Chains A and B, each alone.
Chain A
Amino acid sequence: MTDEPLLRVSALSKFYGSRVGCENVTFDLWPGEVLAVVGESGSGKTTLLNCLSTRLLPSSGTASYRMRDGQWRELYRMSEAERRFLMRTDWGFVHQNPADGLRMTVSAGANVGERLMAVGDRHYGRIRATAVDWLSRVEIDEDRIDDEPRAFSGGMRQRLQIARNLVTSPRLVFMDEPTGGLDVSVQARLLDLLRGLVTDLGLAAIVVTHDLAVARLLSQRMMVMKDGRVVESGLTDRVLDDPRAPYTQLLVSSILQV
């Protein structure tokens, strides 16, 4: 690991008119680190994620990203072309609803291969071999490669979306409730898979979730948000086992024990 962070976020705020989306968020993300952002609905988690992934422009604040060549670039000063290029090479975005992140009308293989073709790969055999490899890494049978994602179950679609994002070996992946809408056994399998991939590939990830169990399993560090502000942040185990802010205590104590 290097001694420099991958992403530096400083005093990031997003207002929708007079309403607060998120306010004054500051943190560093290190290579290979998984940061969980937790909080209840409407606490600004997704707004923050959309700002960081440049899908939304913030009202104020800065975010800098260390490119592969070691140069620091200010995200909101990059041209749209550069941002979109970053988005499909060095970054990934896993949507809560796989239909938002997949092309539902083309085959699974083409979904995985799209990013490769977008960065200029023009060899069908190679693209297909890579797609086969990635499908097997996310536990999708090779013989489903020519099926459309419409024919896939929810869990398979989510795994396909992950494969599609990871095929260009990004260094940073944004995930918005990656396990939302899946039943618990499928969730467990997906989390297991994600944890393995993140460790194997040394990915840095920012995971937005309202599920503390997801944060516990995947992340090393977490931030708790309420009303657009970060109320507590720290190592995941510390925050969950010894919550200090009153809101975090409430959140941790609301987990149903089975």
Chain B
Amino acid sequence: MTDIATYNFAYLDEQTKRMIRRAILKGIAIPGYQVPFASREMPMPYGWGTGGVQVTASIIGPDDVLKVIDQGADDTTNAVSIRAFFKKVANVAVTTETAKATIIQTRHRIPEHPLNADQVLVFQVPIPEPLRFLEPRETETRKMHALEEYGLMHVKLYEDIARHGRIATTYAYPVKVEGRYVMDPSPTPKFDNPKMHRSPALQLFGAGREKRIYAVPPFTDVVSLDFEDHPFEVQTFDQPCALCGAGNVYLDEVILDDHGGHMFVCSDTDHCEKRRADGHHGHLAPETHLALEAKEPAE
């Protein structure tokens, strides 16, 4: 522990953590309500997860196991550096396995592996206000939340259908929490919205630049907004993951060459690796190729 003596545990000072915990508790008490908090400068730029990092720093303890994902992946810059940050300032165990983590800080995905009641999901949120692009005045949007005037949210969905023939919003898809507050689920794909509904894990949202914290307590109703004649639907994919063969998961497109070659693979890298270790293979997995080559007679 001597090597981190220059830092307070988990970087933030105790008074700050106390302030943030109070905001978190208020957020949990009023599901979906955006609680203002005195966001601190963090040693990373805004937009890199300063809100999520502050929430994580306030709830993490020495026994926690941290997982950090960025668009589902454990190995991208944002995920690697935040994981390294907490390893250094809190000396906690880190993992890439969803099932082993107690705190999962995420940028824009919810892991495919179902979460349990002992886990906390911390979202990094760029713009917490779902009404922002329709109503620029903060005083007005707060009033609209207070008076439950959410007609405007449907104006946005109406515009989608009028322009594209269907609700074309694919991420940051607005949800109503516990029948009261309309909430921006952060820019997660709408594929993940149903996972928020009555999730056993606590879900916390931190927006550092916008200085807001909000929360979805365990087993809370999270309903995606829609029209009666245009119901909410999640994205579907024509093919399973090219590496692990998983269906019903969110896929990323990966460009393979400059001749139009591409493949769709799991956005959740941990899920994909797990499946491959368990012997599942997609049509582009190296194992499949080896197996095919072994079968074909050499010419």
Q: Does B117 contact A (CB under 8 A)?
A: no
Contact mask for chain A residues 146-165; partner B; CB cutoff 8 A; 1 contact, 0 none: 10000000000000000000
Measured CA separation A145–B163 after assembly (Å)? 11
The residue that A114 contacts in the complex, of B147, B151, B226, B230, with Cβ under 8 A, is B151
B1, CB-defined interface residue at 8 Å = no
Chain B 115-149 interface mask (CB, 8 Å, partner A; 1/0): 00000000000000000001000000001000101
A197 to chain B, nearest CB (A): 23
Complex interface: stretch among A32-40, A52-60, A122-130: A122-130
A128 smallest CB distance to B (angstroms): 7
* Alpha-carbon distance between A84 and B227 when the two chains are bound, in angstroms: 24
Decide if A81 is an interface residue (CB 8 Å cutoff).
yes
The answer to whether A123 and B229 touch (CB under 8 A), given A117-B154, A118-B151, A118-B152, is: yes
In the complex, are the beta carbons of A124 and B147 less than 8 A apart? no
A115, B151: Cβ atoms closer than 8 Å: yes
A110 to B230, CA, bound (A): 16
Q: Which residues of chain A from 190 to 211 have a CB within 8 Å of any chain B CB?
A: none
Say how far A135's CB is from chain B's closest CB, in angstroms.
Answer: 13
- Cβ–Cβ < 8 Å partners of A114 in chain B: 151-152, 155
Residues of B within 8 A of A124 (CB): 158, 161, 227-230
Residues from chain A with Cβ under 8 Å of B159 in the complex: 106-107, 110
Of the candidates B151, B162, B230, the one whose C-beta lies within 8 Å of that of A117 is B151
Query: Does A142 touch B at the CB level, under 8 Å?
Result: no
Q: Establish whether residues B158 and A110, one from each chain, have CB atoms under 8 Å apart when the complex forms.
A: yes
A125 (CB) vs chain B CBs: closest residue: B229
B-side contacts of A80, CB under 8 Å: 143, 147
What number of B residues sit within 8 Å (CB to CB) of A? 19
- Is there a chain B Cβ closer than 8 Å to A228's Cβ? no
Name the distance in Å between A151's Cβ and chain B's nearest Cβ.
14
* A115 / chain B contacts, CB cutoff of 8 Å: 151
Closest Cβ–Cβ distance, residue A191 to chain B (whole Å): 30
**Residue on B nearest A119 in the bound complex, by CB:** B151
Task: Please tell me if the beta carbons of B158 and A84 are within 8 angstroms of each other in the complex.
Answer: no
CA of A119 to CA of B148, assembled, Å: 11
A113 near B: Cβ within 8 Å?
yes
CB neighbours of A106 from chain B (8 A):
134, 155-156, 159
* Bound complex: CA A146 to CA B161 (Å): 10
A128 and B151 contacting across the interface, CB-CB below 8 Å: no
User: Within 8 Å CB of B152, what residues of A?
Assistant: 114, 117-118
- CB contacts (< 8 Å) of B147 on chain A: these are 80-81, 84
CB of A109 closer than 8 Å to a CB of B: yes
Q: Measuring CB to CB, which residues of chain A are less than 8 angstroms from any residue of chain B? A: 80-81, 84, 88, 103, 105-107, 109-110, 113-115, 117-120, 122-125, 127-128, 145-146
Q: A106-B156, A118-B149, A146-B163 are in contact. List 16 more A-B contacts (CB 8 A).
A: A81-B147, A84-B147, A106-B159, A107-B162, A109-B158, A109-B162, A110-B155, A110-B159, A110-B162, A114-B152, A122-B154, A123-B227, A123-B229, A124-B161, A124-B229, A128-B162
